[in-house]
Amino acid sequence: MVDLLPLSSAATAARAASPAMRSSHAASLTTASCCRACAQGKKDERYCFVVDWFDPQASLVRKYQLIYYSADGTIEMYDLKNRRTFLKRCDYPAVTLKDLYKGGVITVYSRQLTIVEYGDGFTAGKLEKASAAVCVTIAPGALPQMGRIIDAITSSSLVITELRLLAEGLVLKLVGEDGPAVWSSLKPQIDGALGKDSVTQSGDVFAAGLPKTVVSDGATSTLLLVRPHAIKAGLLGRIIDQALGSGFELLNAAMLQLTRPNAAEFLEVYKGVVPECVDWIEELTQGKIVALQLRFASQPTSSVLKLRELCGAHDPEVARHLHTQSLRALYGESKIRNAVHCTDLPEDGALEVDYFFSILGGQSA
């Protein structure tokens, strides 16, 4: 049975990983790495995808073939129009097979690539089954436990690719091998822990189109962003559970894929002030983020300050000394990959909430 309550060792393992393991550097594939993969007996399966990249300079959509090698996690890219190699086979740890599904967005060397189709029959045959989707809705009455439910889901083989808070509850789109069957086996466990029908299977509201987000109480609320690296590490549920368990209530929630212009515009206030600003922009575009509009229930006018206390210092190392149980102390890895962003100044709470839920519209990418 999936344990919905205690924290696993995920955060500890993330902090223990060496900087070299966590970084998204790229280096040319060497003969030695190939030999290591062979020596370890790994089957080097080749997955092929057609990806689109919007070239802002030329205002054109350019198509590439992206190839992922499962044995060592290396990638290469081929320019389909000009029929030439665009990126030689190289290490790129930020992209894993779990990130590669039709409709997904990945970032390679600051280029956001949208996966539009599978590039060959082998890839389609292997991954279409692995990308079977199911949509579920967490009932309004179960929202205080949504962090535990999300943690149970991400602890299974399912990946959350869409998330949105609607009137009927929090709707999630889950993808994974035999996704509907995995969900069917997981649901009774959640029902047993949190009550029958706390989560129900629903239709794909994301394909049908979502209503515009209604933003209210902006002046007494604050914004929490869960960064891509934390979501990929399976920490989303734990972060939400800690926030809701610390006296905050949820007003809005959405999963989005930020473009570089979006991220740069949002972080404009930090430009020239915080040395890590450029790296923050890059990190925010490395995968989907989850935006949460929160309000501190017992003292709404202090929402921004209370969330800052919960998040802790920007540097996780400092947070681990000064704010030992803060989100960044528990789940952050570095100043760049520090798990979460939160509103810094009380006067910015309404502005940041408005940016994500009104200007960006809370629409999933």
229 is catalytic: no
Q: 256 versus 4: which is more confidently predicted? A: 256
Q: What is the pLDDT of residues 261-282, one digit of tens each?
A: 999 999 999 998 888 999 999 9
Q: Spell out the domain ranges in the chain.
A: 27-127, 131-211
Pick the catalytic residue from 229, 314, 323, 341. 341
Domain at 131-211: CATH architecture:
2-Layer Sandwich (3.30)
Q: What is the pTM of this model?
A: 0.83
Q: 195 versus 200: which is more confidently predicted? A: 200
CA dihedral of residues 236, 242, 246, 251 (deg, nearest 10) = 20
Q: What is the pLDDT of residues 46-104, one digit of tens each?
A: 999 999 999 988 989 999 999 999 999 999 999 999 999 999 999 999 899 888 988 88
Burial call 180-192: b when 16+ CB within 10 Å, e when fewer: eebbeebbeebee
pLDDT of residue 4: 52
Asked, colleague to colleague, whether 27-127 and 131-211 share their fold, the answer is: no
Q: What is the pLDDT of residues 214-256, one digit of tens each?
A: 888 888 999 999 999 999 999 999 999 999 999 999 999 999 9
Mean pLDDT value of segment 126-135: 85
pLDDT of residue 44: 79
CA 119 to chain centre: 25
CB atoms within 10 A of CB 343: 24
DSSP 8-state symbol, 129: H
Tell whether the model's pLDDT for residue 17 goes beyond 90. Answer: no
Tell whether the model's pLDDT for residue 257 goes beyond 90. Answer: yes
As a whole number, the mean pLDDT across the chain is: 87
CA distances from 69 to 100, 115, 193 (A): 12, 16, 40
pLDDT of residue 2: 44
Which CATH entry fits the domain spanning 27-127: 2.160.20.10, 2.30.42.10, 3.40.640.10, 2.30.29.170?
Answer: 2.30.29.170
Contact 64, 79 (CB under 8 A): yes
Nearest to 356 by CA among 265, 228, 236, 245: 265
Contact 353, 222 (CB under 8 A): yes
Q: What is the pLDDT of residues 101-124, one digit of tens each?
A: 888 899 999 899 999 999 999 999
Q: What percent of the chain has pLDDT over 70?
A: 87
